[in-house]
Amino acid sequence: MSATDGVLVACCQLAPRIGEPDFNRGLAHAAVLDAAQRGAQVVVLPELVNSGYVFKGPDEARGLAEPLDGETVGDWAALARELELVIVGGVCELDGDTGALRNTAVVVDPGGLRAAYRKAHLWDRESHVFEAGDRSPAVIDTLHGRIAVVVCYDLEFPEWMRLPALADAELVCAPVNWPREAKPPGERPQEVVRVQASASVNRMFIAVADRVGRERGVDWVGASVIVDPAGYPLAGPAGDEETVTVLARCRLAEAREKRISEHNHVIADRRPELYGPVAGRS
């Protein structure tokens, strides 16, 4: 494969189990190995894949949290080195500096841990458990492209999705846990619609790995998907119950082209001087 063929991206839709960290580590490990055997160069794992999601409360989460030099991230770093790939995955993190719990997504590559991004927009009862991050989406040059990372509910804030585009990200990787909600028959889940729109208005690739597996009464959208800079799915959305790896080859250079007509460019056409209130100015 030549570089011009693009980067093979894999989103592993898994079914972790709350309170079974060894099981979950094994699940993620096996998924990365399998994806690598299929040629994947970037592997995206779900949000909080080491711990599960539906915590009874902060104490349970604390008991499942790991530091960034813990077993889960350590295993991913070893896999990334051995297999020469990039892994973006969600971990329930015990912040070594402050003791806070964080809903974190790490980027590891053959050089080790490259970034730890803490989810900035918390969903529902997460605010009882986690401390929100206050730094922009990480954007990292890796051996397989310029990769950004956000987590789940972050995807619903177009202002947030603009930031990696302004930082020249080619591919945004998003570990998610999307709780399933009602939708009209025949409609694509709105979670996917929003990802499509963010990809197209920013002309970048977005790869989403969701979880499945009913947990304490919660079902999930599934719908793991890889979307191109035109906003259309290259692979997925996956079903809402299947454990599956969604794979697509992404010609990341396409995300460098922001022109969409002879006279239009999705970034240069912005008029930020008029957007003041969006960033809190009135």
Backbone angles phi, psi at 79, to 5 degrees: -60, -45
* Total of chain residues touching a second copy, rule CB under 8 A: 53
Return d(Cα 76, Cα 99) in angstroms, integer.
23
Using omega within 30 degrees of 0 as the cis cutoff, is the peptide bond preceding 164 cis? no
According to the binding rule CB under 8 A, does residue 136 interact with a second copy?
A: yes
Q: Tell me whether residue 47 is one of the annotated catalytic residues.
A: yes
Q: Which residue among the candidates 152, 173, 191, 250 is catalytic per the annotation?
A: 152
Q: At CA 114, angle to CA 9 and CA 258, rounded to 5?
A: 55
Q: Which residues within the stretch 94-133 sit at the binding site for a second copy (CB under 8 A)?
A: 120-121, 123-125, 127, 132
Instruction: List the one residue out of 223, 220, 221 whose CA is nearest residue 238.
Output: 223
Mask of contacts with a second copy, 193-232, x by CB under 8 A?
Answer: xx-xxx-xx----------------------------xxx
Name residue 226's beta-bridge partners: 207, 235
> In Å, what is the CA distance from 13 to each residue of 46, 52, 133, 239?
7, 13, 25, 10
Which of the stretches 13-21, 53-61, 92-100, 155-163 binds a second copy when contact is defined by CB under 8 A? 155-163
- For residue 41, state whether it binds a second copy (rule: CB under 8 A): no
- From the list 59-67, 72-80, 102-110, 182-190, the region that binds a second copy by CB under 8 A is 182-190
Residue among 17 and 128 whose Cβ is closer to a second copy:
128
Q: Which residues are known to be catalytic?
A: 47, 119, 152
